[in-house]
Amino acid sequence: MNYSVLNLFMKFFSRALMLLLVLPVINYAKGLVARKQGDDTAEAAGRLTLNPIAHLDILGSLMIMLCGFGWSKPMPINYNRMRNTKKGIILVALTGPVTLFIMSIICRNVALVVLNMISGVAGMAIGFIFSMLASISVCIGVIHLLPLPGMDGFTLLYYLTGNKFASWYHRNQRAIDQYSFYVLIALFFIGPLTGGHIDPLGWIIGIFDWILNWTTVWENFVFT
């Protein structure tokens, strides 16, 4: 297998992992938090599950496989049914990125254990899968934190700031949503188009990846 074929395989393999493993975990976690806050809408709709079929959106899945970014079915969450609406919204918004970062920590540590304890092709293959999951999780976690409409980061910004921000957003909502979409597209493509010389999203992901990688320092004391 030459390098170009291997690179293509890794690209589509990572996107399949995103669809079948990462996105269902995010949705399940959000639905679980919503239920704990008093809203069982997701559970009643059969979405409180890790089964990827329940979360796949056809167009969003095609976008992920072809372009590397897309979406799953929106989780059916009714904030009005929660005991404390504002608290529930903030907790659900936090759940996405926090779950992803925890998932990244777990996967990168499992990968180290596997690579150190299982020799040969099997160990390398399993370690590769967990390493890929760790990388995907931190990438999506950072994207979820972006302060752009539709992202958890914007939801947190909206509900944790004062009324002035909310009023400003609603006065300019159409323009803000439109330009935010262009900003998001630019963040995805400016890195590859500039050969990595200008890549703000990649730089932020790199910072988070460096921070989360500190959870693996124990390897130096256990396996050396």
Q: pLDDT at position 177, please?
A: 93
Residue 64 has pLDDT above 90, yes or no: no
Q: pLDDT at position 224, please?
A: 67
pLDDT digits (tens, 9 = 90+) for 178-210: 999 899 989 988 988 898 899 999 999 999 999
| Contact partners, residue 217, CB within 8 Å, separation at least 6 | none
Tokens standing for 126? 């399993």
Percent of the chain with pLDDT over 70: 98
pLDDT digits (tens, 9 = 90+) for 168-179: 999 999 999 999
Distance of alpha carbon 208 from its chain centroid, rounded?
13
Which band of pLDDT confidence, cut at 50, 70 and 90, is reported for residue 2? low
Q: pLDDT at position 1, please?
A: 54
Distance from C-alpha of 174 to C-alpha of 96, rounded to nearest angstrom:
25
Q: pLDDT at position 51, please?
A: 93
Which band of pLDDT confidence, cut at 50, 70 and 90, is reported for residue 18? confident
Output the pTM of the full model: 0.89
Annotated domain spans of the chain: 1-83, 84-224
pLDDT digits (tens, 9 = 90+) for 112-124: 999 888 888 888 8
Q: What is the mean pLDDT of residues 62-73?
A: 83
Q: Check if the beta carbon of residue 26 is closer than 8 Å to that of residue 55.
A: no
